[in-house]
Amino acid sequence: MESRRGMMNPWAEEESSSDLVAMRRIQRLSSHISPDVTAPPLPLVQAERCSSRSSKKLEVNGEALSLYMRGKHMDIQEKVFDFFNSRPDLQTPIEISKDDHRELCMNQLLGLVRDAGIRPFRYVADDPEKYFAIMEAVGSVDMSFGIKMGVQYSLWGGSVLNLGTKKHRDKYFDGIDNLDYTGCFAMTELHHGSNVQGLQTTATFDPLKDEFVIDTPNDGAIKWWIGNAAVHGKFATVFARLILPTHDSKGVSDMGVHAFIVPIRDMKTHQTLPGVEIQDCGHKVGLNGVDNGALRFRSVRIPRDNLLNRFGDVSRDGKYTSSLPTINKRFGATLGELVGGRVGLAYASVGVLKISATIAIRYSLLRQQFGPPKQPEVSILDYQSQQHKLMPMLASTYAYHFATVYLVEKYSEMKKTHDEQLVADVHALSAGLKSYVTSYTAKSLSVCREACGGHGYAAVNRFGSLRNDHDIFQTFEGDNTVLLQQVAADLLKRYKEKFQGGTLTATWSYLRESMNTYLSQPNPVTARWEGEDHLRDPKFQLDAFRYRTSRLLQNVAARLQKHSKTLGGFGAWNRCLNHLLTLAESHIESVILAKFIEAVKNCPDPSARAALKLACDLYALDRIWKDIGTYRNVDYVAPNKAKAIHKLTEYLSFQVRNVAKELVDAFELPDHVTRAPIAMQSDAYSQYTQVVGF
């Protein structure tokens, strides 16, 4: 298939020989895929944009930039890349059946642990930063493989570590680590996904036998979409309502949702155990290397010790004890310990964005189409439209990288200190970043596919599989719309505390100053400043982001108060829902920009810092321009300033294009990682033509 940009004149040079036609077509394809990349940028565009500014290309120390980006765990990632590059039998082919893909992913995980000697589970609790670095590398090999590893170690293993106590760790750690104890995380039910407190599966204590009886009371309570359940899992962490017998008129007491270890297959024969029914969820849109299944329990008995009892326990005589006084507090503590899944997905989503942006930008640098009369064709990345698609995306990729690195650091600190305020901070931040980043990556995958024209539609160039595999990132570990509401609710809580004189944590502390700024009128002088130095000043950029968030917060708080009088709390929230989602996104963008600015400032190499500053300015001004109506409506930005922001954004896109190769190369995703022939840095022509059989 050939893209519209690449179509030839249909009446030109008809050939009678089919062999000659094929040869000429290969020659044309060769010139498109492997052109002279030293050709100068599009002259007309360059002259127009650089008439009033220096057009000198920034020289970037790529090694220094890469070292700063990759950080302290680049060695373990290289070990993952090198191992799978040396094992063709563990590389995922383009065409593979569901069943074969599942077995391959299991073999990939076994190869990682038993052959490469990399033990991710050992880092889940003690060094989460290293664990997430391994997960990013593994996900670039095959996203199904990355998710399967996450199910085994983050979810099944993580639930044992985080919700259990010493007896559980002592019994299960080694088996989970070496993959003898493959397991599942059975939370979601057919009728309940986001509303975990509404789960219907029950675990009723039988004091006579000192056992819990696990039951699926109706079809709606069947555990659904459970990774590792259909084929490989031997255990499941089952979330169920803990039911205790009582001596009052009710006869039982519902203690809320707790987690239980339930064996589902025989350790020797791998046959399904009595009372457990397992069905296959079948072929999915993506991630078909993960064996999702459905679980039904019919009076399955487990020992009392199989209750993961960190936050609540049942004694031999059936008495319930907990250090937390209410069901809601126990539930919150339980889910709070599972926040690592969201942290991992946000981080992994940035990894997917890096791969897709790398493929699209490398292709756009190589691909040539049209040009001035009687001059060579030019790179399609020299077209303003292509820069508009890809350069803000490249800047955003860097922004999200530094934001999720910060999130991982905060999560690691939380796991070490167990500070209550830090737990709340990480919970809201992980919800916001997971939602925001995965939504952006999902949209960007389609943009990258389109930016590569017809060649982007070839399965071998990966956009289809990346898009399909990543799509569910917007849903599991918390639906994105639900997660943004959690962020908005937390902001409203902080807003209330602010006016009651309470303290604000680091992530939200800007609200105090920016809210005061919002409550005063915009400065009519600064609203008209349009100099480049001013627009590229981090203080102006961050103030603009935070002003918008404060304005949205003030307005939605007033609207909620107004509508709650007639609609009640739930009705008012629903009436303002779109406003609340916009508020949450605005806040997360403020956090992202703050972390990007901080990362630029901390970069030790001057040339790398200059390249990062270009990307940071483009990210900030592109976001301001996309929401320019908000700033114009309140005269925060005057018309002449808005025009200056637009012009500067276009210029910065051009400047980032000039260092796009260096910025992409700093991700250090070699050909055997991107695996897209159209993006090969060497010999792309022969790579791609071999795929189609020449």
> What pLDDT was estimated at residue 527?
73
pLDDT at residue 327 greater than cutoff 80: yes
DSSP-derived secondary structure letter, 33: H
From residue 478, how far is each of 7, 235, 583, 619 by CA, in Å? Answer: 44, 23, 19, 27
DSSP-derived secondary structure letter, 306: G
Least confident of 34-38, 276-280, 381-385, 627-631: 34-38
> What pLDDT was estimated at residue 328?
83
Phi-psi category of residue 3: left, alpha or beta, with phi > 0 → left and psi -120 to 50 → alpha: beta
Least confident of 175-179, 282-286, 344-348, 499-503: 499-503
Strand blocks (E) in 50-153: none
Please give the average per-residue pLDDT across 540-560, as a whole number: 92
pLDDT band at 197 (very low <50, low <70, confident <90, very high): confident
> What pLDDT was estimated at residue 24?
42
The DSSP annotation for 333-383 comes to: HHHHTTTHHHHHHHHHHHHHHHHHHHHHHHHHHH-EE--STTS--EEGGGS
Tokens of 52: 């009033």
DSSP-derived secondary structure letter, 228: T
Please give the average per-residue pLDDT across 185-189, as a whole number: 95
For residue range 65-74, list pLDDT tens digits in order: 999 998 788 8
Across the chain, what does the average pLDDT equal? 87
> What pLDDT was estimated at residue 221?
96
Query: Is residue 281 within 8 Å of residue 225, measured between CB atoms?
Result: yes
Instruction: Report percent pLDDT > 90 for the chain.
Output: 70
| C-alpha–C-alpha distance, residues 367 and 364, integer Å | 5
For residue range 417-437, list pLDDT tens digits in order: 888 888 889 999 999 999 999
Q: Residue 238 burial by CB count (10 A; 0-12/13-18/19+): exposed, middle or buried?
A: buried
| C-alpha–C-alpha distance, residues 648 and 659, integer Å | 17
85: number of Cβ within 10 Å: 15
Q: If you average pLDDT over each of 165-179, 314-328, 539-553, 660-674, which comes out highest?
A: 165-179
The DSSP annotation for 229-255 comes to: TTTT-SEEEEEEEEEEE-SSSS-EEEE
> What pLDDT was estimated at residue 523?
62
pLDDT band at 508 (very low <50, low <70, confident <90, very high): low
pLDDT at residue 546 greater than cutoff 60: yes
| C-alpha–C-alpha distance, residues 238 and 353, integer Å | 33
Least confident of 237-241, 284-288, 501-505: 501-505
> What pLDDT was estimated at residue 417?
86
From residue 620, how far is each of 395, 629, 646 by CA, in Å? Answer: 9, 16, 12
> What pLDDT was estimated at residue 408?
94
| C-alpha–C-alpha distance, residues 277 and 281, integer Å | 13
pLDDT band at 497 (very low <50, low <70, confident <90, very high): confident
Query: Is residue 429 within 8 Å of residue 342, measured between CB atoms?
Result: no
For residue range 444-494, list pLDDT tens digits in order: 999 999 999 999 998 888 999 999 999 999 998 889 999 999 999 999 988
Least confident of 91-100, 330-339, 628-637: 330-339
Least confident of 119-123, 223-227, 621-625, 688-692: 688-692
pLDDT band at 52 (very low <50, low <70, confident <90, very high): very low
| 521-532 CB burial, b ≥16 within 10 A, e <16 | ebeeeebebbee
> Higher confidence at residue 648 or residue 325?
648
Handedness of CA 667, 461, 474, 656 (dihedral sign): positive
pLDDT band at 200 (very low <50, low <70, confident <90, very high): very high
Query: Is residue 477 within 8 Å of residue 434, measured between CB atoms?
Result: yes
Write a three-state SS string for 674-692: HCCHHHCCCCHHHHHHHHC
Query: Is residue 229 within 8 Å of residue 290, measured between CB atoms?
Result: no
> What pLDDT was estimated at residue 447?
97
Q: Which helix (H) or strand (E) holds 213?
A: strand 211-215
pLDDT at residue 662 greater than cutoff 80: yes
> Higher confidence at residue 686 or residue 13?
686
For residue range 563-609, list pLDDT tens digits in order: 999 999 999 999 999 999 999 999 999 999 999 999 999 999 999 99
> What pLDDT was estimated at residue 288?
96
| C-alpha–C-alpha distance, residues 357 and 608, integer Å | 19
13 is catalytic: no
Least confident of 137-141, 294-298, 305-309, 501-505: 501-505
Please give the average per-residue pLDDT across 359-388, as a whole number: 91
> What pLDDT was estimated at residue 16?
39
Please give the average per-residue pLDDT across 97-105, as a whole number: 97
Angle at 222 between CA 217 and CA 223, to 5 degrees: 130
Strand blocks (E) in 366-464: 368-369, 378-379
Please give the average per-residue pLDDT across 296-318, as a whole number: 96
| C-alpha–C-alpha distance, residues 379 and 377, integer Å | 7
| C-alpha–C-alpha distance, residues 222 and 148, integer Å | 21
Least confident of 175-179, 528-532, 687-691: 687-691
Catalytic residue among 136, 189, 337, 477: 477
599: number of Cβ within 10 Å: 21
> What pLDDT was estimated at residue 694?
64
> Higher confidence at residue 38 or residue 559?
559
Please give the average per-residue pLDDT across 239-243, as a whole number: 96
pLDDT at residue 2 greater than cutoff 60: no
Q: Angle 420-451/384-417 helices, nearest 10 degrees?
A: 160
> What pLDDT was estimated at residue 306?
98
Strand blocks (E) in 406-495: none
| C-alpha–C-alpha distance, residues 681 and 672, integer Å | 11
Tokens of 275: 């009372």
For residue range 5-40, list pLDDT tens digits in order: 333 333 333 333 444 434 444 444 444 444 444 444
Please give the average per-residue pLDDT across 209-228, as a whole number: 96
pLDDT at residue 376 greater than cutoff 80: yes
CA dihedral angle for residue 618, residue 406, residue 580, residue 547, rounded to 10 degrees: -50
pLDDT band at 681 (very low <50, low <70, confident <90, very high): low
Q: For the chain, what is the total number of helices (H) and then of strands (E)?
A: 26, 13
Backbone Cα Rg of the chain: 28
